[in-house]
Structure 1
């Protein structure tokens, strides 16, 4: 994703500053559905001058949404989010003067989905009728999400008009954008407010339903809900049920793992976008609040992790990214032929910040695209669809060979084309995210260790596709390229005096020698030799890397270590999950399985302290220093690859390796003892639907077709 950047930006540069903290004293409540999301305080209010708001397609529409009873803010009692797209705020009217208790309960039920619906219910628990003056203050500013993210959303750019029961707000700078607010129960509608004078009899309730409907290009957007329908009947709920019914189900004896997986399923369902302008193909937005859009790296890795649930998500992601693949050279957007984009934005500031709606400044999305294409094929993606995407894969590898390898040394490196672009273009894309053991920032161009691993895996992926489609010459060529890269990588990146891979080679081709979590990605992609991997396992297991809640992004022994930083000592759940998958790829090495189980246990324990939902990242303090883990203040939640990380853990510990075209299924479990029995039901692998039960190092498979080769007999790992 686009990282915080505390360096002084160039005018109009991408990444101008760390996201402003969103939460107030009571915390932030985020609900999200596709490209729609809402941020509020624990009472449900959106205060002007904050980063709260109701957002749609990368623009904040509602900048004020405050409920007042007799001129006072109600007192929050509790808040619950039954699904990612809905919230219930339970409040009370402040007690009367001289009283300690209140008899008027206030409930705000909120739902988002291409619009916002809020049902306000007043319940009189007293013995006398209660008179209430209820006012909802509403305003809009229509500012770009980047402006809100960077704390520069200053102008109030809306014209308000009241007519009958409708409040209309229009963008002063663009009259084709706006919103309407309507409500039941006969409100008095004025510019900026809806109000009701109510008498609630004792023991009875009063209700109003308020609907916000966006307007784009002078056309009203149809919300995914209807007035008066229950939450379970709404469009977001129906979409989530369809997602769940079409996905595999995973349950475990461990109640924490089951709860985390349930939250994963809900969050990924809510983050799915099926945009009409993109043929309604599904892909996953990177995360709320600031990244509710298609991101090459994030969407590809999330789709990879989610393969046990639904291969269709990977197919939709690949098709969407292929349509936007680079065709020309544009230094402003960093587009190049064959390059896979970094992010796609719809907001009014996209052209100023990104140079256009499409920005291509990422070094790793392009090889990840080729990796995912072959993996989706293995998991049962339709062969005709995969064949149709082969030209995009070949264009991606041509980019790797040409524009990706800037100096022809056989490694892929990055250097931004102008001062508008991202300084660092790997997954650690903050300005100081790549540094040496002393803490000095690496000078561009930079060749990252994990990116060479992705490229190695991409060549092997294309070779496997060529084998499958009867093209042995291409397969041999691609395998030769992968083998040559693996040899050169071992020679140039391995630091024998330290026992780990350099995180990168800098602009002088000197190793950047910090110990980072990036090296674990080299285990995941298989570019590491067994000899090097055995040494890496020992270093990753050290207390300087293992925080007790997951793997730190940077060793605590390094000069730039800061457990409160974005990339230099924090813990990222997706990063730890990739490390676990990498360790289990080398399960035959001493200590690899033990460390994988320890990291996974710590990560799930962290999830329990975040309500079962893993955030984008959290601080990397040691577990014996701070427990539960310390949140990172501007972390996204829900965030796609963090939400999907538990799926990668399950897949890796099951040793699940299907190959639908070859009709084979391998299962080699190394499940953590705490998990007990794990059941994966309705796993769809092309024409086959199978059920897997596993515990410890044994597994059984039911439903495997007669012409498939099943798992090898269960045996101890290693």
Structure 2
């Protein structure tokens, strides 16, 4: 355990406060999300709003009691897509207390439903003028993020009891607002004049329906329906029913895992025409869409919960794989998508709705396909994706300059950096100088190595021995050339990249730790690298810095140059445990994981996209990064990768074998996986420290590693 004050543990099963450090409450359900303040108001002139399919549908949603904003008491989110705002009417002049409780219950699902209930706790009737101010600007998500919006001014009309708002500039988007309890509906406002008897309640239900392409969207809920019966609730329950249950004795870890399951369910998006192909959006609020790299890595991390998410992600990306050459969108045959956008300004911002400017999604696609097969995905589905995998490998072959996969943007509107550190200053040398393109990132070579090995294994399994041999030879040559070109023997780490001149970009970064994850690192380099990663320059006490504190560009408050990204630390932990035989690797992995979970506890159980990289000895609890996404997909999935890695869980369903080599931190106690579905088998795993037991194994499976079977149908104990 890292040093520092002990975090406060959450109570088991406690709902997560859906509130960032700046007081913004974020709710999300697939491609719908809502940002508000702690009273539930969407304030005009802010980045708040109800968003649907990359456009802000509501830019003002302000509740007033007798012309005054209510006082906030608390916010609780029982699910990522629902919240209860507890408020009170401001006390009357000369009085300290209020007798009117106001409860706003909000539910998202291709629209918004809000139930407002007034509780009169007093001994006499109370008269209330309740008003809801509504406006919309239908602004593109990017414009809202960058503050380039007016915030309102939609055309507003009243038709019967409905308030209709329309985008006056483009006309294809709009929304309707309707309510119960007979409000007076005015352009931009709903008003109720209410008398609530003593000790009684009054309620109204308000429904917002978006209109896209002049068609009204059908919400995933019905008026008057209980939360548990709504479409979003049924979807998340189906996700839970189909997913592995993961539990831990450690209260913090257990609650973080519950939050991970909840958020990953809410972040899933399903095309109505292909409901069996779920994929996960990258994160709220600004990345509620398909992202190649983010969605692939999240699906990889979430495999212990469900293989269906990984398969759906692969199928969706295969459908959108590059087919032609387009310099503006950077589409190329075989290239895997970086980002999908459907907002009103997508063509102007990205050059089109589909943008391909990423170097790592393409090899990650192939690597995940192989991992999906090992975890028991249907063989017919895997075979159907082989042409997409081969097209991806052809793109890699065409893009490998000087033997390494590198990137250079096609035009001046594309991303300058196209790895996971894609900010303009994300790749620099030890002195802080920016790298020149084309840039070959160290971790990306590891992804290519893993992709070639994955496709080789699939080729061998499906009878294509020639392809298997060729790809394994390519992988072995790449591993050798990588060690020669990227290793800095006088420093003890890998260069973060090779630049356009072939020179080593020599900064110490977390990218080097991701090389461990892919397995491209030889043991002799791993032993030295572990020591460097364990230094105070890299380990904050709450996770691994993206850039060492003694590097020229280090800034603990930067996006990629010294901050801590939970998914990045989780990949580093997975890499260290892949090299568990190397001295110090397990100890460092445990230290990083425990520190990361302490950070999760400080953030209410939900890991954010990133946080500042100050040392724990300097600032505790960890300092939030101001615009960090939360919930964010790969941060939500990171605890699942930690558990999987510390279990040493490596299934091979086609080979009918399971390997377990636990190295669980003692603080975790016992970790249990119930209903782990691997192909047609359903297993149950229990692990403590460095031992594990498995039940439910089919009789023809082999159990390997430091584990033993609990029933007579499995193999006897085997120590590897």
TM range (shorter): over 0.9
Q: Is 1:673 matched up with 2:666?
A: yes
Aligned counterpart in structure 1 of residue 678 of structure 2, from 668, 678, 685: 685
CA deviations 1:356-399 (Å, max 9, x no partner) are: 11000000000000000000000000000101100110100000
Q: How many angstroms apart in 1 are the aligned matches of 2:339 and 2:153?
A: 27
For residues 26 and 471 of structure 1, the distance between their equivalents in structure 2, rounded to whole angstroms, comes to 56
Shift of 1:217: 1.9
Question: Are residue 513 (structure 1) and residue 509 (structure 2) matched?
Answer: no
Deviations along 1:402-461, whole A, 9 cap, x unmatched? 0x21x3x11000010000000000000000000000001101110000000000111001
Q: Which residue of 2 aligns with 1:330?
A: 326
Change (3 A) 1:429 1:277: farther
Secondary structure in 1 matching 2:294: helix
1:179 and 2:175 are equivalent in the alignment? yes
Cα offsets for 1:655-709 (capped at 9, x unmatched): 0000000101001100010100000011111111100000000000000001111
Query: What is the deviation of 1:280?
Result: 5.0
Contact 1:278 1:320 in 2 (8 A): no
Alignment match of 1:271 (pick from 241, 261, 267): 267
Partner of 1:388: 384
Name the counterpart of 1:3. none
Structure 1 CA distance for aligned equivalents of residues 686 and 313 of structure 2: 30
Match of 2:288 among 286, 292, 317: 292
2:529 is the alignment partner of 1:536: yes
CA distance in 2, matches of 1:649, 1:252: 12
Instruction: After TM superposition, list the pairs within 5 Å mapping 1:91-110 onto structure 2.
Output: 91-110=87-106
CA contact (8 A) 1:284 1:303 kept: yes
Distance 1:297 1:534 in 2: 29
Deviations 1:618-661 (A, max 9, x none): 00001111111000000000000000000000000000000000
1:626 & 1:87 partners in 2: Cα distance?
Answer: 31
Say if 2:699 is the partner of 1:706. Answer: yes
Look up the match of 1:379. 375
Match in the other structure for 2:496: 503
User: Is 1:86 paired with 2:59?
Assistant: no
The answer to whether the 8 A contact 1:619-1:631 is kept is yes
SS in 2 for 1:560: coil
Q: 1:195 aligns with which of 191, 195, 216?
A: 191
In 2, distance between residues paired with 1:337 and 1:106? 56
Which deviations, in whole Å up to 9, do the C-alpha atoms of 1:42-101 show, x marking residues without a partner? Answer: 110011110000000000000000000000000001111111000110010001011111
Distance in 2, Cα, partners of 1:304 & 1:188: 52
Cα shift at 1:153: 1.3
Output the CA distance in 2 between the equivalents of 1:193 and 1:649.
49
Instruction: State the distance in 2 between where 1:25 and 1:63 align.
Output: 21
For 1:193 and 1:131, the matched residues in 2 are separated by: 19
Cα distance in structure 2, aligned partners of 1:25 and 1:648: 26
Looking at structure 1, the residues matched to 620 and 105 of structure 2 have their Cα atoms a distance apart, in angstroms, of: 33
Quote the RMSD (CA, aligned, Å): 1.4
Indicate the residue corresponding to 1:570 in structure 2. Answer: 563
Instruction: Tell me the residue number matched to 1:8.
Output: none
> Could you tell me which residue of structure 2 aligns to residue 603 of structure 1?
596
| Alpha-carbon distance in structure 2 between the residues aligned to 1:552 and 1:256 | 22
Alignment CA distance shift 1:494-1:486 (3 Å): same
Q: TM-score of the superposition, structure 2-length normalised? A: 0.95
Give the match's secondary structure for 1:514: coil
The answer to whether the 8 Å contact 2:665/2:689 transfers is yes
Distance 2:668 2:168 in 1: 56
Shift of 1:277: 5.1
Partner residue, 2:10: none
**Which residue, out of 311, 315, 318, partners 2:314?**
318
Does the aligned pair in 2 maintain the 1:24–1:41 contact within 8 Å? Answer: no
Q: Where does residue 121 of structure 2 map in the other structure?
A: 125
Q: CA deviation at 1:26?
A: 6.0
Q: Give the counterpart of 1:494 among 465, 484, 487.
A: 487
Instruction: State the 1:710 CA deviation.
Output: 1.3
How many residue pairs match? The answer is: 694
Cα pair distance change 1:23/1:49, threshold 3 Å? farther
- C-alpha offsets along residues 106-141 of structure 1, whole Å, 9 cap, x if unaligned? 110001010100000110111111100000000011
Q: Paired residue for 2:540?
A: 547
Report the equivalent of 1:12: none
Change (3 A) 1:280 1:150: farther
Give secondary structure in 2 for the equivalent of 1:564. Answer: coil
Aligned counterparts of 1:418 and 1:61: Cα–Cα separation in 2: 32
CA distance in 2, matches of 1:89, 1:654: 40
* Match for residue 115 of structure 1 among 111, 116, 134: 111
Q: Is the 8 A contact 1:668 1:717 kept in 2?
A: no
Contact between 1:163 and 1:189, CA under 8 Å: does it hold in 2? no
Partner in structure 1 of residue 337 of structure 2: 341
Paired residues for 1:139-288 under 5 Å: 139-154=135-150, 156-276=152-272, 281-288=277-284
2:27 to 28, 31, 34: 31
Check the 8 A contact 2:111/2:208 in 1, yes or no: yes
1:217-275 per-position Cα deviation (integer Å, ceiling 9, x unaligned): 22211111111111111111110000000000000110111100000000000000001
Q: 2:298 aligns with which of 296, 299, 302?
A: 302
> Residues 298 and 633 of structure 2 are in contact (CA less than 8 Å); yes or no, is this contact kept in structure 1?
yes
User: Aligned with 2:671: secondary structure?
Assistant: strand
In the alignment, what sits opposite 2:455?
A: 462
Q: Partners of 2:48 and 2:599 in 1: how far apart?
A: 26
For residue 660 of structure 1, the aligned residue among 641, 648, 653 is 653
**1:646 equivalent in alignment to 2:630:** no
1:519 and 1:254 map into 2 onto residues whose CA distance is 30
Conserved? CA contact 2:135–2:153, under 8 Å: no
d(CA) in 2 for partners of 1:473, 1:555: 44
Deviation of the 1:24 alpha carbon = 9.4
Distance 1:84 1:717 in 2: 42
Contact 2:103–2:118 (Cα < 8 Å) also in 1 = yes
- Inter-CA distance 166–676: structure 2 relative to 1 (3 Å threshold): same
SS in 1 for 2:384: helix
Q: Deviations over 1:477-504 (max 9, x none)?
A: 0000000000100000000010000000
Change (3 A) 1:580 1:374: same
- With over 3 angstroms needed to count, the CA separation of the structure-2 counterparts of 1:490 and 1:118, relative to structure 1, is same
- 1:156 CA drift (Å): 3.2
Alpha-carbon shift at residue 174 of structure 1 (Å): 2.3
Distance in 2, Cα, partners of 1:24 & 1:141: 24
**How far 1:711 moved relative to its partner?**
2.9
Aligned mates of 1:707, 1:24 — CA distance in 2: 50
Shift of 1:276: 2.4
